[in-house]
Structure 1
Amino acid sequence: MDSIAIIAAHCQVALRDNAPLILALFLAGLVGSAGHCAGMCGPFVLAQVGARAELSRVSGATLLPYHLGRGTTYIALGMLLAAPIGLLSRLDQLRWVPAVLLAGAAGLFLFQALRGFGAVGAPAPGFLHRARGLFARPFGMRGYALGALLGFLPCGLLYAALGAAAATANPIAAAMGMLGFVLGTMPMLIAIGWLGHGAAAHWRELARKAMPVIAAVNAVVLLAMAWQVAGIA
């Protein structure tokens, strides 16, 4: 019981100290999933919904095993990146590392904002996945494995979220941040599975317009956090 209490206390402190970051990542996932993830991950969602046609419309479109697998990959990556940064940042000569990572994540969100405003072009996709067999029957553990595998899909928005989460230098805080990001991405992807691309297009267009603004706000928030972490008066 003592170990559980200690873990709960650590989680409470991590949540309190990193609430702005967690909220920023949730909003980035919520808006970014419509403006960005719908085009990249939407086809994967629709392919699974088609394979689950024998299930009810709601349960077939929810794809909880897929989202759980995807979330596992995102959270694990965030924790794995945050752990060594936490160790390095304890050295006086390397205390600047989290601030640099936060500034880098801010730069990635700024890039997303500039892409949304049409100021820069989108990078060419180059992901070659090996998940065809899992699409045949994406149920249970197969759906989970598919989500975990597709969690490594290259994505600028994901990289920005991972950079921000890792900059906490705290695996628990990083896990919370990436959990917020995953929860933010779920509503639009579930809507795509339930309604299809056509019905979701209206919301996607609205989110596409909002995403540059949200990304720019997140960039400012992360830069402010980097400024604070760096101890600049």
Structure 2
Amino acid sequence: MLISALIFGLLGSFHCVGMCGPIAFLLPVDHKNNVRKLGQISLYHFGRLSSYAIIGLLFGLLGKSFSLFGLQQQLSILVGALMILVILLPYKKFSKYNGSKPIFKIVSKIKSNLGKQLKRKSPDTFYTIGFLNGFLPCGLVYMAVFGAIASATALEGSLYMAVFGLGTIPLMTTAIYLGNFINLNIRSKIRKAVPVFVILIGLLFILRGMGLGIPYLSPMEITPEITATQSCH
């Protein structure tokens, strides 16, 4: 499943360039010193990965609570179905039930702090910008969160989100160095491909939850057996 997170990040990074690109373009990097510039960009990415890992940890704990009740495979099916539903359901209908309005104030504070950090050039600035950037609302991050929940452990959920973040690094780094280098036609084709890939990942989660006995893809359900032995003296 980690491979799906990496591919998800690689494909999703085309979307990230459009959504988070403006933040990356405005990074106060040192354009005269390539070594320092690379270090600053690395701190920015490390900040993003840190926030993704924290998000994955929290939602992995949520998935673990389902796993403790023996519902891991049912959870995998549910997550896969939700991923497909979010893609197929028109955005106007989905936005009525997405429950995001209560967090608008938090998001506005994050954006405000981002604006302040973009004016600074201290070493911790780049990590802070990346860290705050990772918490901004993003549809692709939401999809990756579904994968973290299905991981059903805090560690695997955190790792899933971190690998997703790793997948976004190559294109985001290229964008910082070269600017908005992808033309609108290519970006449009990539954006059309991303929903298809999300649906495929959703089907993969459903297949995994069905327990068809296919190694690595759809393993059989493992039911722990508890045996008690009693000895009398």
Common fold, TM-score beyond 0.5?
Answer: yes
1:147-203, Cα deviation, whole Å (9 max, x unpaired): 111211111211221221122222222232112101111122112111111x22365
Deviation at 1:213, TM superposition (A): 2.2
Q: Quote how far apart the aligned CAs of 1:135 are.
A: 0.5
CA 42–107 in structure 1, closer or farther in 2 if over 3 Å, else same: farther
Q: Root-mean-square deviation (CA), in Å?
A: 3.1
Q: Where does residue 24 of structure 1 map in the other structure?
A: 4
TM-score by length of 2: 0.72
SS at match of 2:130: helix
Deviations 1:90-144 (A, max 9, x none): 2xxx222x345434442453256448xxx65695995422221111135532111
- Structure 2 distance, partners of 1:187, 1:80, is 26
Native 8 Å contact 1:72 1:148 kept in 2: yes
Which of 54, 63, 69 is equivalent to 2:31? 54
Within 1, Cα distance between the matches of 2:121 and 2:8?
27
User: What is the 5 A alignment of 1:65-80?
Assistant: 65-80=43-58
Q: Gaps spanning 5+ residues in structure 2: where?
A: 212-218, 223-233
CA shift in 2, pair 1:203/1:187, >3 Å: farther
Match runs of 1:1-233 below 5 Å: 21-34=1-14, 36-48=15-27, 51-56=28-33, 60=37, 63-90=41-68, 94-96=69-71, 98-111=72-85, 113-114=87-88, 120=91, 127-128=107-108, 129-130=111-112, 131-197=114-180, 199-201=181-183, 203-228=186-211, 231=221
* Structure 1: gaps of 5 or more residues: 1-20
Tell me: CA distance 1:138–1:108, structure 2 relative to 1, closer, same or farther (3 Å). farther
The alignment of Structure 1 onto Structure 2 pairs a total of residues equal to 201
What one-letter code is carried by the residue in structure 1 that aligns with 2:46? L
Q: Which moved more, 1:80-89 or 1:136-145?
A: 80-89
Give the TM-score, by structure 1 length: 0.72
Q: Whole-Å Cα distance in 2 between the matches of residues 67 and 23 of structure 1? A: 20
Q: CA separation in 2, counterparts of 1:152 and 1:139?
A: 21
Q: Comparing both structures, which one devotes a greater share of its residues to helix?
A: 1
Residues in 1 aligned to 2:44 and 2:75: alpha-carbon distance in whole angstroms: 29
Larger radius of gyration: 2
CA contact (8 A) 2:57 2:158 kept: yes
* TM superposition shift of 1:84: 4.9
Question: Offset at 1:76?
Answer: 1.5
Partner of 1:15: none
